[in-house]
Structure 1
Amino acid sequence: MLELKNIKKSFGGKTILNDISLDVQDGEIISILGPSGSGKTTLLNLILGITEVDGGKIIYNGEDMTNVPMEQRGFNIVFQDYALFPNLNAYQNITYGLKNKPGISSQDEVDDLIELLGLKEHLDKKIEQLSGGQKQRVALARTMVMKPKILLLDEPLSALDGVIKESIKDRIKTIAREYHLTTIIVTHDPEEALTLSDRVLIINEGKISQYGKPEEIINRPSNPFIREFILNQLEIKRSNIFTLFQCEATA
């Protein structure tokens, strides 16, 4: 569905991304994982169209999108800070984009999405009255009513913790599965990437270190960086992740 071919990007003479190539299948959840400064957010911005590539191609459904403006690509992003309008209530935020494109989602589709995300009782609240998890769900709903071709999420769980974090993670999975929506997530947290995604792209110093299924990365890290970055950080939680993969394998 989405293919990146030999993507390169530099800023001020410094190489940020060097020869990045990968494919994303229709309906997949992909996480872009890496330490701070590795180039993962830059890669997300290149896919979205905020930033122009210096070299390589972005192909979507066989069409070259490399030089297509962001507003014509049909990809939508939920930013890390949610970017909600504080002067509008939750419902007005959710439906804001429909003012310019009213035919994209019907009222029934909007209502179904609100129900799916558990937002019905919060629709009249101002943004300042919402919790972090509720803001994240409103931001997801606002993006989803526009029926994006690809959903991009920038650190969607970084401001959340505990039960709320797990709840949002489950809702992202549910949305991706029910809407058969290709989803690309940027995260710095190995646990998030490994438990949320179908495949994980790990970037280090602007290059791909490994791209594969979570169980492949856990069981067959491709180099010392992967072992240190992934496995050492997960030492306390590894048993839970291994149990998850074992359960899925026998399900």
Structure 2
Amino acid sequence: MLELKNIKKSYNGNVILDDISLDVEDGEIVSILGPSGSGKTTLLNLILGITDIDSGRLIYHGEDLTDVPMEQRGFNIVFQDYALFPNLNAYQNIIYGLKNKPGISTKEEVDELIDLLGLREHLDKGIAQLSGGQKQRVAIARTMVMKPKILLLDEPLSALDGVIKESIKDRIKTIAKEFHLTTIIVTHDPEEALTLSDRVLIINQGKISQYAKPEEIISRPDNSFIREFILNQLEIKRNNIFSLFHCQTA
């Protein structure tokens, strides 16, 4: 459904992405995982169209989008800082994009999304009155009413913790399933990637280290970097990850 073929990107002679090739299936949740400076955000921006590709091709449903401008691709992003309008309330933020494309979602569809994300009681609140999790849900709703072909999320859980983080993870999964929406997530957190995604793309120094289902990465890491990054980096969380996949495969 989405194919990246031999993607390369450099800045000022520094190679950021080197020969990235992968496919993303329709309705799949894929996390792009890697340490700081690995190239994961650059890859997300290339898919969105903010950043130009030096060489390689980006194909969507058989159509070459490599040189197609961002606004014509139909992919939408939720930024890490939410990028909400502070002078508008939650509901006004959600429907803001419909001013230019009023027919893209009906009122009933907007209401359904508001209820799905549990935002009904927060619609009249100003952005400053919302918690981090509520802001994240408003940002997701604002993007979803525009009916993106692909939903891109940049570190959607980085500012959240505990129960709120788990709630947002569940809602992202629900949205992807309910709308059969292909979702691509950038994260630096192995636990997030492994518990949220259908497949995980692990990048290190601009190259693909492994692209596989979470259980395959846990049981058969391809190299020493992955073993270190996934299995040893977050020692406290590791047992939770193993327990989760043990329960799923038992």
Instruction: Give the TM bin, normalised by the shorter chain.
Output: over 0.9
Q: Deviations over 1:143-166 (max 9, x none)?
A: 000000000000000000011011
Give 1:229-240 correspondences, 5 Å limit.
229-240=229-240
> What's the TM-score once normalised by structure 1's chain length?
0.98
Cα RMSD of the aligned pairs, angstroms, is 0.7
The alignment status of 1:87 with 2:107, answered yes or no, reads no
Give 1:223-234 correspondences, 5 Å limit.
223-234=223-234
SS in 1 for 2:72: helix
Q: Deviations over 1:4-61 (max 9, x none)?
A: 0000000001000000000000000000000000000000000000000000000000
Tell me which amino acid in the other structure corresponds to 1:152: L
Q: What are the ranges of 5 or more consecutive residues in structure 2 without an aligned counterpart?
A: none
The 2-side partners of 1:237 and 1:96 are apart by 39
Give 1:64-213 correspondences, 5 Å limit.
64-213=64-213
Q: Which runs of 4+ in 1 moved over 6 A?
A: none
The 2-side partners of 1:210 and 1:102 are apart by 42
> What's the TM-score once normalised by structure 2's chain length?
0.99
Tell me which amino acid in the other structure corresponds to 1:236: I
1:26 is matched with which residue? Answer: 26
- What is the percentage of aligned positions where both structures have the same residue? 85
Displacement of 1:233 in angstroms is 1.8
The 1-side partners of 2:248 and 2:229 are apart by 24
Tell me which amino acid in the other structure corresponds to 2:62: G
- Counting matched residue pairs gives 250
SS in 1 for 2:147: coil
Instruction: Using the TM superposition, name which of 225-234 and 104-113 deviates more.
Output: 225-234
SS in 1 for 2:235: coil
The 2-side partners of 1:117 and 1:78 are apart by 15
1:221 is matched with which residue? Answer: 221
The 2-side partners of 1:109 and 1:247 are apart by 36
SS in 2 for 1:208: strand
Displacement of 1:245 in angstroms is 1.6
Tell me which amino acid in the other structure corresponds to 1:146: M
1:50 is matched with which residue? Answer: 50
Q: Deviations over 1:91-115 (max 9, x none)?
A: 0000000000011100000000000
Displacement of 1:80 in angstroms is 0.2
